[in-house]
Amino acid sequence: MTSAAFDVDAFLREPLTARLATGGPTVRPVWFLWEEGAFWVLTGPWARLFDRVRADPAVALVVDECDLATGLVRQVIARGRAELLPFDVERGRRKLVRYLGADEERWDERFVHYLYDDPAQRGTVWLRLKPVSIVAHDLSYSVAP
């Protein structure tokens, strides 16, 4: 089976869930934003991810989809060293809008707090993964009628 080419940037702009692996190994699902050639994930001292990345910034991440009804099977696998960077509200809003929609009044209160709580007090930061390697595969197949 050969892998067909597909628009990786368009795929990564879809509201898919990624799985992020850290040392241990530990794998966790995360929402992400794909901007500036990097994956952006919210984290902070309340999450084990924060401490794991501080201890060992080597991570791997996979974003995939598999639709058995249509035969659509695509994946992006990225590896690199994660950085913990200061949180900014505008990037946070862009990330949450992609998963929750533009109407903040419809969001669960937990997500609203990410935007408006003081990041210095709460400790909210960005985990940024600018991949050293990124591999994309389209393994889609035809579904018989």
Quick: pLDDT tens for 78-92: 999 999 999 999 999
pLDDT in tens, 88-138: 999 999 999 999 999 999 999 988 888 888 877 888 999 999 999 999 999
For strands 58-67 and 38-43, give the pairing. unpaired
**Residue 26: CA atoms inside 13 Å, Cβ hemisphere, count?**
15
105: left (phi over 0), alpha (psi -120 to 50) or beta: alpha
User: What are the tokens at 114?
Assistant: 């990410």
Residue 2 pLDDT grade (very low, low, confident, very high; cuts 50, 70, 90): very low
Task: Please check whether residue 108 is in contact with residue 44, taking contact to mean a CB–CB distance below 8 angstroms.
Answer: no
Nearest alpha-carbon partner for 118 in 98, 93, 88: 88
Helix (H, G, I), strand (E, B) or coil at 51: helix
Helix (H, G, I), strand (E, B) or coil at 87: coil
Say what the pTM is.
0.87
